[in-house]
Structure 1
Amino acid sequence: MNTITRSLVLAALALASACSFQARATLQPGDPAPDFTAPAWLAGEPFDYSLSKALRDGPVVLYFFPAANTPGCNIEASLFSLAVDDFRARGVSVIGVTAGNTEQLRAFSADKATCAGKFPVAADPGAKIAAGYAAVLERKPEMSSRTSYLIGQDGRVLAVHSDMNPAQHVKRMLDSIPGAAAERSAPGD
């Protein structure tokens, strides 16, 4: 683990101990993932993101985060950015969605310390998309929780991880990709 990644993980663990909001019950594996279209940015460039269109190219990791440009969310975006090539190598795309600080998403998407232009982030004003995924904060339902979903090409949830600590979201999603366990135990590792 390199120094930057180790620092990000340690900061995430410290942040998690300070978080007091809990997420509501999430969708479960096998549940249909609600389709959505939302305004999004990739490397600062705006476009309309469509989950159904993205699923045509393969599975999608959809991760909800509370707000752009906040400590835990910056850590989580950085961790996804560092791992985006691992997801792509397995045919999986990544999208981050938030209800918080949506006016900052253009800059957030291009920031070299967060997304680094490697994956899109989408705005979810009022957490309407998050509500469809049961990924809202219980005490602040207008805000998305920190919940990650792996959605199969058939539009069904394959895996879910909901935890205000951003440290394990990337690992849990990578480990949930079908065939991931076989890849890790391949001869010569």
Structure 2
Amino acid sequence: MLLTLAIFGFGTVKGQLTTGSKVPDFELKDQDGKNFKLSDALAKGPVVVYFYPKDDTPGCTKEACSFRDSFEQFKDEGVQVVGISADDVASHKKFAEKYKLPFTLLSDTNNKVRKLFGVPKSMMLPGRVTYVLNKNGVVVHQFNSLTQATQHVEEAMAAIKKL
């Protein structure tokens, strides 16, 4: 059972931020090379932070486009959407432009923030985990699935509706 959970990325892993965890502040470069600081984003309202394995791969593109297609709903709820992977700024810029992604992509090339959140690996790949943070920076929902890329958006929106 534990092997199945580890392979498919379900459940949580020791050290991973879970519901009720306060997220430490962090700062990374976005796709435009500008500094993004979590505390500045939270000052404006809730934030959805989703970690994904790699720009322009099938599952990650599907997930990003799903967030893009629901972006107005998140915006209407006063929620910012932020994607994070280890790809560099130039890769994020190209990915965002190619798929017309209207939200922030952050470059975590040394996996510092991925480790801060305790995002587990799935099948030897960087994990795909979405966190919904309230305006106080507390995790109110977390969804972990490498294979259900578009369900991350559904899970995040359902959690936002409960805030």
TM-score range, shorter chain: 0.7 to 0.9
- Tell me how far apart the structure 1 counterparts of residues 138 and 84 of structure 2 sit (CA, whole Å): 18
How is 1:89-168 mapped onto 2 (pairs within 5 angstroms)? Answer: 89-100=76-87, 103-111=90-98, 113=99, 116-137=100-121, 140=124, 144-165=126-147, 166-168=149-151
TM (norm. structure 2) is 0.85
Deviations 1:113-145 (A, max 9, x none): 3xx1410101111311011111131664xx631
In structure 2, relative to structure 1, the CA distance for the partners of 1:51 and 1:97 (3 Å cut) is: same
What is residue 87 of structure 1 aligned with on the other side? Answer: 74
Q: Which has the larger radius of gyration?
A: 1
The structure showing larger relative contact order (alpha-carbon pairs under 8 Å, at least 6 residues apart) is 2
Q: Secondary structure at the match of 1:33?
A: coil
Aligned-residue offset at 1:60? 0.1
Are residues 1:29 and 2:16 paired? no
Query: How much has 1:105 moved relative to structure 2?
Result: 1.0
Q: Which amino acid aligns with 1:155?
A: G
Structure 1 runs, 4 residues or longer, greater than 3 Å off: 20-24, 100-103
1:173 aligns with 2:156: yes
Return 5+ residue gaps in structure 2 as ranges. Answer: 1-6
Cα shift at 1:93: 0.5
Show structure 1 runs of 5+ residues with no match.
1-19, 181-189
Number of equivalent positions: 153
| 2:64 maps to 1:77 | yes
Instruction: Please give the secondary structure, in 1, of the residue aligned with 2:70.
Output: helix
